[in-house]
Chains A and B, each alone.
Chain A
């Protein structure tokens, strides 16, 4: 492998990486909390809220992410809402990932022992206080592994946005490979994706440890 060729590729790959990370970060920042909104909706005692949340989750988990990209970028303009390519990509990813996170949170919340709800109730907690002060804090450590899993999928899913013409890491490599008839760029992006997922794994391991301090037994 030729080092000077790699040096030549790097600027465009790094630009692609920047776009990928930008999409990744925005998606996480908005979808993590939005997911919780749909979780609370889907377990709400108010039927219309529950139905709407569950319908939402069903639609966004039940159709391909690529199709959702097409709908939002090519379809919404017919309804008078037009986003540029990047905004369309971010909106689609946020909506899609919020649905997945919502289900992860729901499973976490429902795995908490019923005795916790009962104890809180006998101490005078309202259902919302119970959720906020007792149930959600315990849910965090349980949902970190599945959220981590989903986040790693997100890193790789970002490659889909080329379908609506948004530049990103894989697209940058593809350009170089086609131009130079050399797969070095593919190898480089593979390494970059691996580095990203490695960093994520480490970060989540730390978080998991931090949030499950209380589960440690004394020796």
Chain B
């Protein structure tokens, strides 16, 4: 069954159309990479899926529940509480990490499980320890984010996002703020998650990463998905001239 269904999604900012009718569907366990030029609407799509932005039209379904629908041109969201519950099936990793600077790494990971999900402290900490090991940051549990490199911060941010047991992980250019060396360590963590069949929707500019980690690739241009397919077809056998040029621009 599809974990995510997006139908004919539109998003306008004033006169600017950031998304012009985007449709896609994801199955459980799939890793989908979204690539395309900056400003083509990739991040906006993610931000509509977790309601950081409200859509202008279309329908989104997460795990069989309607997040937003458009009926006779009227955009309809469920009540705030219901919306929050549905959104919590997703979790997000940001380009700028956005760790909470006043909390240690461990506290960053446990705060939502304890305060929001109501888990008891010991369980939350045990789980955070497991997640820290998964991202290779167990030695920094008691450090504050300001003491860590960008790559380390991003790995903790991934652990934090996983701690709320999301069914769908959204990655918004997770390595764009990192230098190549740090990018590699973050990518290897995401690749590990892909092997564990985590469902992930990843906006990225790392073509090699998309090629090796993603099951499927979607290509965005001007607010539309203009091409897509399995990673192998997309990269090895690309027919579209425009996309070939885009991909070639990255080869180096």
Inter-chain contacts of B117 with A (CB < 8 A):
124
A interface: dominant SS: helix
Contact call A118/B102, Cβ cutoff below 8 A:
no
From A75-83, A131-139, A162-170, A189-197, give the one contacting chain B. Answer: A131-139
Say which size band chain A's interface belongs to: 20 to 34
Using A113-B98, A122-B50, A123-B116 as known contacts, list a sample of 8 further A-B pairs with CB atoms less than 8 Å apart, ordered by residue number in A. Answer: A116-B100, A119-B99, A121-B51, A123-B88, A124-B87, A137-B102, A214-B102, A214-B144
Inter-chain contacts of A216 with B (CB < 8 A):
144, 146-147
Q: How many whole Å from B114's CB to the nearest CB in chain A?
A: 10
Contact call B98/A118, Cβ cutoff below 8 A:
yes
A214 vs B143: C-alpha distance when bound (angstroms): 9
Contact call A214/B146, Cβ cutoff below 8 A:
yes
Q: Nearest residue in A to B103 (C-beta to C-beta)? A: A214
Contact call A119/B94, Cβ cutoff below 8 A:
yes
Q: Nearest residue in B to A121 (C-beta to C-beta)? A: B52
Q: How many whole Å from B224's CB to the nearest CB in chain A?
A: 25
List 5 tightest A-B contacts by C-beta distance, closest first.
A115-B98, A119-B98, A123-B112, A214-B144, A122-B92
A217 vs B143: C-alpha distance when bound (angstroms): 10
A214-B144, A215-B146, A217-B147 are contacts. A124–B116 as well, Cβ < 8 Å? Answer: yes
Q: How many whole Å from B199's CB to the nearest CB in chain A?
A: 16
Inter-chain contacts of A217 with B (CB < 8 A):
146-147
Contact call A118/B52, Cβ cutoff below 8 A:
yes
A126 within 8 A of B: yes
Inter-chain contacts of B12 with A (CB < 8 A):
none
Inter-chain contacts of B100 with A (CB < 8 A):
116, 119-120, 134, 138
A129 within 8 A of B: yes
Q: How many whole Å from A75's CB to the nearest CB in chain B?
A: 44
Contact call A115/B112, Cβ cutoff below 8 A:
no
Inter-chain contacts of A133 with B (CB < 8 A):
111, 115
Contact string against A for B residues 158-176, beta-carbon threshold 8 Å, 1 for contact and 0 otherwise: 0011001000001000000
A138 vs B52: C-alpha distance when bound (angstroms): 22
B84 within 8 A of A: yes
Contact call A125/B112, Cβ cutoff below 8 A:
yes
A116-B100, A137-B102 are contacts. A124–B146 as well, Cβ < 8 Å? Answer: no
Contact string against B for A residues 194-219, beta-carbon threshold 8 Å, 1 for contact and 0 otherwise: 00000000000000000001111110
Contact call A138/B112, Cβ cutoff below 8 A:
no
Inter-chain contacts of B99 with A (CB < 8 A):
119
Inter-chain contacts of B161 with A (CB < 8 A):
122-123
Q: How many whole Å from B107's CB to the nearest CB in chain A?
A: 10
Contact call A123/B146, Cβ cutoff below 8 A:
no
A42 vs B51: C-alpha distance when bound (angstroms): 25
Contact call A123/B91, Cβ cutoff below 8 A:
yes
